[in-house]
Amino acid sequence: MNYHTVIFDLDGVICHTDHYHYQAWKRIADSLGIEFNQNINNRLRGVSRMDSLEIILEKYEGVLTAEEKERLAAEKNEYYKELLKEMTPDDLSCEVKDTLEELKRRGITLAIGSSSKNTRFILSRLGLADFFDAVSDGNNISRSKPDPEVFLKAAEFAGADPAGCLVVEDARAGVEAAKAAGMDCAAIGDAADCGIADYSMKEFSELKKIVL
């Protein structure tokens, strides 16, 4: 299969900010007296901020208004953004950087499809602010993965036919979103064993063999 466009999830694929999410959500959970651990944090991968909060609140015995939930989500994001300021271009691995640059040299259109509203800030911290041809993120979608909206928007912004797009994902919900969008998917990390991706990768650099 020849792919003209590759759409990448951000967190867990291009970079890893799980530990920042964990610290920020744990601060919120602790303030509410809710148990929060890595298992719960793993359920939040690829999920929107408000949907993540609802998962955390499953163990909350009180009742929160919509306004209170919005405030908690905003507080989490402020904590998270402060932690993200610690990121530098050194947080972009040589393997990822070299692979992205090789794909671009070969004329492949590169896009981001992430549920995060902080996508552009993270890209700027990594030195990738202007690297990708298109960015679809939490600021332009209304439905989270496994809904395909974020990837369909990425293809639209890139001027690409979804049938010629390959998505790179690390979460099952993201793989499901890619398949729902009519796109092939290369899975890495936890998603590599989900059984529904077209390709399973142990290393990011394997992408070159798939695409080129």
Active site residues: 9, 11
As a whole number of angstroms, the distance between CA 32 and CA 133 comes to 41
| DSSP 8-state code for residue 24 | H
Q: 52-55 — which CB contacts under 8 Å span 24+ positions?
A: 52/25, 53/28
Closest CA to 10 of 174, 162, 133, 172: 174
Exposure on the CB side of residue 98, measured as CA atoms within 13 A: 8
Closest CA to 141 of 158, 156, 126: 156
- Contact predicate 53/71, CB 8 Å: no
Binning the chain into helix, strand and coil, the percentages to the nearest 5 are: 50, 15, 35
Q: CA torsion angle for 13, 7, 46, 49 (degrees, to 10)?
A: 110
Mention every residue, 6+ apart, whose C-beta is less than 8 A from residue 4.
108, 109, 160, 161, 164, 165
